Amino acid sequence: MITIFIPTPLRRFAAEQAKVNVNAKNVAEAIRSLTSIHPSLTPYIYDEAELIRKHVRIYLGEDDIREKDGINTLLKEGDELSIIPAIAGGSI
Amino acid sequence: MSTSIQQDILTKIETHLEAAYPNEACGFLLGSQIRKKRIITHLIEVENRSTENQRRRFVIDPLDYMKAERFAAKEGLTLLGIYHSHPDHPAIPSVHDLEYAQQFFSYFIHRIAAGKMTDSRSYRLLDGKFIEEKFTILDLKEQIQL
């Protein structure tokens, strides 16, 4: 079982749950399972090309999956994934 | 929807943002939301991780975001928004602010003019645009009553 942490702004699209458990062998499978359970999350995670959105980060534990094998990163029983919105801005 | 912020939190924001001037500074706002009533009671200061130009940009480390969510869960709070400064610029969201905006969050923007906080405004994302949300400031007496 893999646990996926849902950030506060997206919980309303996941039945107000902070965590969702899925069965998956890699990150891509886990996120697909998540969006099949909660389809309303889909446009907030994937872009039009069905790639992970530019401003969405996915962490395995405390590691950015982009520094591993991206969505092909392998998962093992008990792993925790976090979906994290990129937070940034500026005055101009 | 009504949004309130405790006076002591606003004072902490002011101290944080003025100390960081002329750079932008940022942090998280936490509290509770019951139905359409949002009350900000806590803040978490975080480091501006922008490697571009900290006078005009702020970036929050994803690990700091994770820590803020964990703190909220542990304390029974809700992560309600983000605050950041606009040094010598109006407290109005920029295109860059909009690009990264999340639904649900209150975005408190504070103008710091010549090192002093002179304006504070809050915005929410609605249909892809920022809408200013009025907020009330709760003084100590009102906080105790809550």
- Domains: count for chain A: 1
Question: Looking at the domain assignment, is residue B146 inside a domain?
Answer: no
Asked if B89 and A92 come within 8 Å (Cβ–Cβ), the reply is yes
Question: Looking at the domain assignment, is residue A49 inside a domain?
Answer: yes
Q: Report the CATH number at residue A25.
A: 3.10.20.30
Q: Which of A91, A41, A9 is nearest to B98 (CA)?
A: A91
Residue matched to tokens 């069905």: A50
Question: Looking at the domain assignment, is residue B83 inside a domain?
Answer: yes
**Candidate from A18, A82, A86 with C-beta closest to B100:** A86
**Candidate from B73, B96, B104 with C-beta closest to A89:** B96
Write out residues in chain A with pLDDT < 50, as ranges.
none
Q: Report the CATH number at residue B63.
A: 3.40.140.10
Q: What is the pTM of this model?
A: 0.95
Q: What is residue B70's predicted lDDT score, i.e. its pLDDT?
A: 97
Cα torsion at A9, B33, A90, B65 (round to 10°)? -60
ipTM of the complex: 0.94
Rounded Cα gap, residues B112 and A2, in angstroms: 45
Question: Looking at the domain assignment, is residue B17 inside a domain?
Answer: yes
What range does the domain containing B131 cover?
A: 2-141
Among A16, A58, A87, A92, most B C-beta atoms within 10 A, so best to mutate, is: A87
Rounded Cα gap, residues A9 and A58, in angstroms: 15
Q: Is A41 helix (H, G, I), strand (E, B) or coil?
A: helix
Tell me the C-alpha to C-alpha distance, in Å, between residue B102 and each of A73, B33, B87, B120, B125: 27, 17, 22, 19, 7
* Confidence check: pLDDT of B25 > 70: yes
Both structure tokens of B56: 């005009």
Rounded Cα gap, residues A47 and B33, in angstroms: 30
- Chain A residues touching chain B at CB-CB below 8 Å: 5, 7-9, 12, 18, 55, 57, 59, 62, 64, 82, 84-92
Question: Which element (helix H / strand E) includes B106?
Answer: strand B106-113
Q: Please list every residue in chain B whose beta carbon sits closer than 8 Å to the beta carbon of residue A64.
A: 62
- Domains: count for chain B: 1
Question: Which DSSP string do the residues of B37-62 spell out, in sequence order?
Answer: EEEEEEEEEE----SS-TTTEEEE-H
Among B69, B118, B119, B122, most A C-beta atoms within 10 A, so best to mutate, is: B69
Asked if A86 and B56 come within 8 Å (Cβ–Cβ), the reply is no
* Confidence check: pLDDT of B74 > 90: yes
Question: Looking at the domain assignment, is residue A43 inside a domain?
Answer: yes
Q: What is residue A92's predicted lDDT score, i.e. its pLDDT?
A: 84
Rounded Cα gap, residues B23 and A89, in angstroms: 13
Question: Looking at the domain assignment, is residue A92 inside a domain?
Answer: no
* Confidence check: pLDDT of B141 > 70: no
DSSP assignment letter at A51? S
Question: Looking at the domain assignment, is residue A91 inside a domain?
Answer: no
Both structure tokens of B62: 């994803």
Average pLDDT (B115-143) is: 93
Chain B residue closest in CA terms to A54: B100
Q: Please list every residue in chain A whose beta carbon sits closer than 8 Å to the beta carbon of residue B102.
A: 9, 85, 87
Q: Which of B1, B78, B77, B80 is nearest to B36 (CA)?
A: B1
Question: Looking at the domain assignment, is residue B100 inside a domain?
Answer: yes
Q: What is residue B1's predicted lDDT score, i.e. its pLDDT?
A: 84
Rounded Cα gap, residues B92 and B119, in angstroms: 10
Question: Looking at the domain assignment, is residue B34 inside a domain?
Answer: yes
* Confidence check: pLDDT of B95 > 80: yes
* Confidence check: pLDDT of B146 > 80: no
Q: What are phi and psi of B78, to 5 degrees?
A: -120, 135
Average pLDDT (B40-53) is: 97
Task: Tell me the pLDDT band of B84, cut-offs 50, 70 and 90.
Answer: very high
Average pLDDT (B23-43) is: 96
What range does the domain containing A15 cover?
A: 2-85
